[in-house]
Structure 1
């Protein structure tokens, strides 16, 4: 594994690809690692032992890291454009929509609902088990 002070963790191919696109556009050389959620803490500790000083991640993964490791964790926030895009993709399949996510994502979904008055079910989870 690369020896970098800043690393990015993802648990989703979609998020990994979006992160990679941003890094390429901005000509940044920051390693991105895609792990299963259950492996995140072990991998984070390996990265810390290898010299990582900051981990960038998203949502429930960022919360897990923040609560269990000693170095700073920067969270990639959920935004309205992302919520809008997800909902538009879902509406292609069905008008009955339910979104499942960790608290940070669900908070963004609720805020989106309050601003747009769109109706969809929100199911909050707290872990991958």
Structure 2
């Protein structure tokens, strides 16, 4: 599988070598969920880094995508919604079972909140500079 195909798979952990055999086991379910959580948090960190560090000629595109197109607001809103939902319930609902990230662990919440503080600051600073 190519990396592009992996992004379209909700249970990417099973695509790693030798992990497919753990599909349907409790160990596999836990590891898959933690893998997805880590990928989610790291992807929000990538957004932060892309906004903080110039990307060699892509600054205009990054600015348009995250600020002018409103993607950063959506990233913040979706992540905050996931945190609220994760704190409200420790039990996965039927509707959440199809989601790659139905809820976060306590550690995932802490890591994501740290990133969201920085992302919100970047958005606020950009709005002040644009005004």
Q: Same fold (TM over 0.5)?
A: no
Higher relative contact order at CA 8 Å, sep ≥6: structure 1 or structure 2?
A: 2
> Which one has a larger percent helix, Structure 1 or Structure 2?
2
